[in-house]
Homo-oligomer: A and B are copies of this chain.
Amino acid sequence: MDQRLSLVTLGVTDLDRSHQFYTALGWRGTEVQETVFFQAGPIALVLWDRGALADDAGVDDDGAAFGGIVLAHNVHTRAEVDTIIDQARAAGAVITREPAETFYGGYAACLADPDGHVWEVAHNPGFTLAPDGSLVLPDWDAQG
């Protein structure tokens, strides 16, 4: 199994509401057969009916908001964290953690989308954010 992620699908209860939410954050997707696809650099983020997603995956869905997954969107500056959180709040997101210094020397906040999917918006000076948007981890081995 190659070390690669191709798509992240977020199960939603109201596709239009979720599509509008991500559009308000500045994303542009395409709706095809009651599914919304966003090209997010080299992967795709997908919005699909949560019940259909659970059925399709062969798992039970008890409706929990948090299943132990957090998505992160890293930015180049602390100011961008504040701006995106303001934008998300205006779009109806619940800010589950207000912008603040982090234990790793960065600055971050967390927001929950209309279905409770959590995004961390972070400025982490320890990770390289390449011009093309790639996140490049440090070479810890080389650092000893």
Contacts and interface: CB of A to CB of B under 8 A. Distances in A.
B71 A40 contact: no
Q: How many copies does the complex hold?
A: 2
Q: Is the interface of A mostly helix, strand, loop or mixed?
A: mixed
Contact of A41 (B4, B11, B26, B112): B4
Contact of A72 (B8, B112, B121, B129): B8
A3 B38 contact: yes
A29 B106 CA distance: 22
A33 to B, nearest CB: 9
A59 B117 contact: no
A83 to B, nearest CB: 9
Given A59-B96, A68-B10, A118-B57, A73 B4 contact: yes
Which 10 A-B residue pairs are closest in the complex by CB-CB distance?
A67-B67, A64-B64, A11-B68, A42-B134, A58-B96, A58-B97, A6-B74, A7-B72, A6-B135, A1-B25
